[in-house]
Amino acid sequence: MNTSTLRDLPVEQRLHLVEELWDSIAAGQGALVLSEAQRQELDRRLDAYELDRDPGRPAEDVVADIRKRL
């Protein structure tokens, strides 16, 4: 399937394909290799979280705030 064929699909069907692709990528994450820079950045962020311990805000609250602004 080429990209012009994909563009001809209804948006709902394209979104479904994107979800399926994303799920297949997520399932195979063990096959992805991080670069040293990526590993260091993840370690830096984890260290920062462990110092701060701020879990942030629930996703539902963030989405609700975004919807209020639309």
pLDDT-derived band at 1, boundaries 50, 70, 90: low
pLDDT in tens, 21-59: 999 888 877 777 889 999 999 999 999 999 998 888 999
What's this model's pTM, rounded to 2 decimal places? 0.44
Could you give the angle at the alpha carbon of 52 between the alpha carbons of 50 and 53, nearest 5°?
A: 65
pLDDT of the residue at 43: 96
Distance (Å) of CA 33 to CA 36, 38, 40, 58: 9, 10, 13, 30
Q: Domain range for residue 32?
A: 3-69
Total number of domains in the chain? 1
pLDDT of the residue at 31: 72
